Amino acid sequence: MFSKITHNLLEKIAIWVLLSLAFIFAVYFFVFEVDWVELYKNKSDGDFKNISVISESCNKCHGKVNGFSKFHNPKKIGCSSCHLGNTLAKNKEQAHLGMVLIPGNASDAKQTCGQPNCHPGIPERIDSSLMSTMSGIISVNKFAFEEIDSPAGKFHIEEIGKSASESHLRNLCASCHLGNEKVNFGPITELSRGGGCNACHLNYNKKALAELIDYDSLKIARPDSALLKFHPSLSLNISNNHCFGCHSRSGRISTGYEGWHETGLEKKDVKLGEKYRLLDDGRIFEMIQPDVHHIAGLVCIDCHIAYEIMSDGKFYEHKEEQILIQCEDCHSNKKFSTMTLDEFDFESRKIAEIRGLDNENRKFIKVKKSQTPLVNTFVKNRRSAKLIGKVTGKTYNLNPPRFECTQSKAHSNLSCNSCHTAWAPQCVGCHTTYEKNTKGFNLLDEKDTDSSWVEYHGEFFAELPTLGVKEDKENGSIKKVIDTFIPGMIMTLDKSNYKNEKPEIIFKRLFAPSVAHTIRKESRSCKSCHNEPLALGYGRGKLVYEIRNNIG
């Protein structure tokens, strides 16, 4: 009796469950208008891996789009891998639910680029990168405003408050971080700031750019991206232009590398051409002398590796801590430390494969600081090393330093930059003040403000850098190195009008360690170091050694 009752009960429960499931599926497919024919089309070919790609309803409107890089072709990974959305719905509104129009921003990178089947872990690493946190910039700024006792500590630009220094960052500096959202279609330009993964990996070919210009000119009330037939690509083709927007400010590394030095001139004052250049933000630059590596055709990523640019996952306070590559990694008169492809970590091996540099027998230079490979190098006999340009494809000899560079005890504590930097950008006499009645913009909140911090620049100079002592931690001990510095802040800071601040005017004369990226083969002269007031940090003038009463 008991078993019969149990059997009937289970039978009723099973029927109820099946009817409930049938009802749920019916409602789901009715609401989202799923096309069953599309869903199972081509199933007989045995290619089950691509069934979800083939069945994506995105193809109905966007199926004839070109321009993708090999590894991001929707025929292999679909559209939803990047853009999310509802791939089973035929109705446009339903298909676009949850869709990300411009994937790769820091806000969605973990769900798009960084999802488990694509690039897991990288968005988390980038979150700790100085290009995301701006930690060093924040601490130095707070130190200059006398809000902290030393330029140290870990900070994140998206978590700053509204003190005087933090307000200053919000008005003038906070756009140059990767968390800044890219919200409009278009290539990376001189004016681009942030954009997450797009900042480095987004590329528009000529067709995609021309089509976008035509598309923007339509000026229709509700633009339809289905009109676009050329998609920008995401790839490892990272040009210097990708770096330029942010790195043409502050230390001006991008401009200096190409030989350009900022001036205080206006467009009406100069004739543009080989001597002068107008940037998209209106600044005029003068040609001084390009870096020898730039003249040879090398680009930023020929030296700067993925674990440096995208961080290794550690939260660093300052740039010099995150930087991995050193001149000595490529230019050495000692035996190179090498590694083979089978010793690579997964990411480095994937980059080598994509670039066609995955020769099993090749010996690659091992970066000393990170113990990771410099994938575009190879070493013969452990002494002769070469580098392959990632853009030019040329093979370059990595020449060892001269005898004087490494064998002289008198100069054993000099960095390569201290002798071989041709010039460094320097700005002195800047005045920064808070103006209550000057309209401004909050770069973090993206809102207009009724008052703002304003900088009035002083004079710009392209001169040899100042030399100073930098303390590096090496194997548990501190090593003192002579290195290059530029005036980080020789300025007057007026906090008098900032709310809740006591009336105060601060004068700062601070120098910042800087690698100008203006390397030349020739070294600077003895006098330019030992008898030059600028090199010694005294400023511009005449340094005279006098002997009075037998005392110098």
171 and 137 in a common domain: yes
Q: Tabulate helix, strand, coil % of the chain (nearest 5).
A: 35, 20, 45
517 and 437 in a common domain: yes
113 and 136 in a common domain: no
Angle between helices 135-144 and 164-172 (to 10 degrees): 130
Is 418:467 a contact under the CB 8 Å cutoff?
A: yes
- Token output for 526: 């003895």
d(CA 111, CA 123): 10
User: Is residue 272 included in any domain, yes or no?
Assistant: no
User: Is residue 262 included in any domain, yes or no?
Assistant: no
Last residue of a domain, one of 88, 122, 156: 122
Last residue of a domain, one of 212, 233, 252: 252
62 and 134 in a common domain: no
User: Is residue 291 included in any domain, yes or no?
Assistant: no
Rounded to 5 degrees, what are φ and ψ at 307? -70, -10
- Mind listing the pLDDT tens digit of every residue in the chain (552 residues)? 455 556 666 666 766 766 666 665 554 444 444 444 444 443 333 333 444 555 799 988 898 899 999 899 998 899 999 999 999 998 899 999 999 999 999 999 999 999 999 999 999 999 999 999 999 999 999 999 999 999 999 999 999 999 999 999 999 999 999 999 999 999 999 999 999 999 999 999 999 999 999 888 877 667 788 888 999 999 999 999 999 999 998 889 999 999 999 999 999 999 999 999 999 999 999 999 999 999 999 999 999 999 999 999 999 999 989 999 999 999 998 899 999 999 999 999 999 999 999 999 999 999 999 999 999 999 988 779 999 999 999 999 999 998 888 877 888 899 999 999 999 998 888 899 999 999 999 999 999 999 999 999 888 999 999 999 998 777 788 889 999 999 888 889 999 889 866 778 999 888 989 999 999 999 999 999 998 999 998 888 888 889 999 998
Is 418:407 a contact under the CB 8 Å cutoff?
A: no
User: Is residue 293 included in any domain, yes or no?
Assistant: no
486 and 413 in a common domain: yes
User: Is residue 267 included in any domain, yes or no?
Assistant: no
**Could you tell me the residue range of the domain that residue 393 belongs to?**
309-325+332-400
pLDDT at 195: 96
134 and 102 in a common domain: no
Burial of 226 (0-12, 13-18, 19+ CB in 10 A): middle
228 and 159 in a common domain: yes
Last residue of a domain, one of 105, 122, 139: 122
Domain count, the chain: 5
446 and 369 in a common domain: no
96 and 16 in a common domain: no
User: Is residue 17 included in any domain, yes or no?
Assistant: yes
User: Is residue 433 included in any domain, yes or no?
Assistant: yes
pLDDT at 5: 58
- Token output for 438: 């000057």
